[in-house]
Amino acid sequence: MSEEITQRIEQLIRSDEEVGAQLYAEVAEDLEPDQVALLLESLPREERLECWEQVPAEQRVDVLVDMRAEARIALVRELDTQSLDQLISDLDAETLIELGESLPDDVVDIALARMDERQRAHYERSAQFDENAIGRYVDHDLLILPQNSRVRDAERLLRREVPEFTTHLWLVDRTGRYAGAVLTTRLFGQPDHRPLTELLDEEIEPLAAQRSLKEANEAFEHAEVSALPVVDDSGLLLGRMSVRLAFELLHEQYEAQLMASAGLDEEEDLFAPVLRSSRRRATWLGINLLTAFLASWAIGLFEGTLQQVVALAVLMPVVASMGGIAGSQTLTLIIRGLALGQITTASVMPLLRKELSVGGLNGVLWAIVIGIVASWWFSSPAIGLVIALAIVVNIAAAALSGVLIPVLLHKLKIDPALSGSVILTTVTDVVGFVVFLGLGSLFLL
């Protein structure tokens, strides 16, 4: 969003209600539906409805589609019957699919009843696919020709109204199976009777409807087109999927990864009700608590030592946190590598060698620094030696875990972005405390 619009929205939100409505009217014409959606999400829930009422009726459906599911559901729940009725008065199949889960079932039924037969058929076909399948997001508005058509047929079709964002014509065989794509630009200067099959765009490969959205995304990254055809498992052309969707998916995918690393849901609404947010986050805190008690238990093994050498208790966080940070650096690198597909079974050993070397170097470097500081702080070279050794061991353990934990989780089909970091810090905490306090018991008592 441009800086200027952001500023005006800030102004809008800061102002009181009446001024707000006026300001909204001023910016509204410059705002795309997704910007209005963002504006709504950035408002506390009680103010959303007020702002929503300022959104022009013809823009409302698009705004809803662009909102995150959780915020959308919350908003829809607050609309009265009349507003809902207006909203669904003229939906096409694609929009109803996107809004479907946020709407009460009876409202979906009414919307379906109002559709013409063709749109309803489209809806029912798309609804068969699950949320993660390409087939669910098909756009049915496209130009289709029989595969034995000629340039003149294509030109005749194109002289009529063409759907938005049309760049290709799609060819099908007699049974409706996908038979190729023709870039409309290639038609110019071609003899009228030339078969379209001689002009096929070889760059275009159809997407399989039952495959995952992730694959659609990869296809778009290679194709440099604004839409790709979608076929079912018998090869029937179902429609096209647009590049805009691929962008949205990419955003969602990364967002989900970012949020997962803190045990959050990607759809999480900034202003979700306190109770719901608390419940969701409690799980993650609970898991973490178990691992924290594990660390405490490790420390508890050395109660006697700690009583005699309090300096060890003071320095414990240094050992644990250096291990945690070193480990999370390796972990992040490996998680990215796994996500990109850079890491294979064969590359694990060389990676381990490299990360252990990096860990070894940094371990020794920081062990010396920390050892000197600790010796000076507690006027005890023995303490300096103990912590220096513990740092070297813990950073090496961190490098090892940073490589092995995500690779193992990946093999077990568990997303390392979600749980990798908890497991890693548990390892570095426990190893760090046991080695540090163990060495302390040996050398300092």
When binding is defined by CB under 8 A, the residue of 19, 25, 121, 258 that contacts its own copies is 258
| Binding of its own copies by 285 (CB under 8 A) | yes
Is residue 286 close enough to count as binding its own copies by CB under 8 A?
yes
User: Judged by CB under 8 A, which stretch of 83-91, 94-102, 130-138, 154-162 contacts its own copies?
Assistant: 154-162
Q: Which of 113, 346, 412, 445 binds its own copies (CB under 8 A)?
A: 346
Q: Which is nearer to its own copies, 107 or 437 (CB)?
A: 437
Q: What is the 3-state secondary structure (H, E, C) of 114-177?
A: HCCHHHHHHHHHHHCCCCCEHHHHCECCCCEEECCCEHHHHHHHHHCCCCCCCCEEEEECCCCE
Taking the complex as a whole, the smallest distance from the CB of residue 236 to its own copies amounts, in Å, to: 22
Q: How far is the CB of 382 from its own copies (least distance, A)?
A: 17
- Write out the binding residues for its own copies, residues 163-202 only, by CB under 8 A: 164-167, 183-189
Instruction: Report the alpha-carbon distance of residue 71 to residue 333 in Å, rounded.
Output: 33
Q: Which of 111, 57, 60, 76 lies closest to 269, judged by CA?
A: 76
CA 423 to chain centre: 22
Q: Which is nearer to its own copies, 112 or 428 (CB)?
A: 428
Task: Decide if residue 289 touches its own copies (CB under 8 A).
Answer: yes
- Does 372 participate in binding its own copies (rule CB under 8 A)? no
Out of 59, 69, 271, 419, point to the residue binding its own copies (CB under 8 A): 271
> Looking only at residues 395 through 434 of this chain, which bind its own copies when binding is defined by CB under 8 A?
425, 429, 433
Any contact of residue 205 with its own copies (CB under 8 A)?
A: no
User: Considering only residues 16, 18, 29, 44, which one is a binding residue for its own copies as defined by CB under 8 A?
Assistant: 44
Q: Does residue 444 interact with its own copies by CB under 8 A? A: no
Backbone dihedral region for residue 341 (phi beyond 0: left; psi -120 to 50: alpha; all else: beta): left
Residues 209-238 that bind its own copies (CB under 8 A): 215, 218, 220-222, 224-226
**At 340, which helix (H) or strand (E)?**
helix 310-340
Q: How many CB atoms lie within 10 A of CB 14?
A: 10
Residues 388 and 367: beta-carbon distance below 8 Å: yes
Q: Show contacts with its own copies in window 302-341 (CB under 8 A).
A: 303, 306-307, 310-311, 313-318, 320-322, 325-326, 328-329, 331-333, 335-337, 340-341
How many Cβ atoms from other residues are within 10 Å of residue 8's Cβ?
17
Applying CB under 8 A, the span of 40-48, 76-84, 95-103, 123-131 interacting with its own copies comes to: 40-48
Work out which of 6, 59, 380, 419 binds its own copies, going by CB under 8 A.
6
Query: How many CB atoms lie under 10 A from the CB of residue 99?
Result: 22
Question: Out of 18, 350, 411, 412, which residue is the one contacting its own copies (CB under 8 A)?
Answer: 350
CA distance 1 to 3: 6
Element (H, E) at 240: strand 237-242
Strand, helix or coil for residue 195: strand
Report the side by side order of strands in the sheet with 144-146.
144-146, 168-172, 178-183
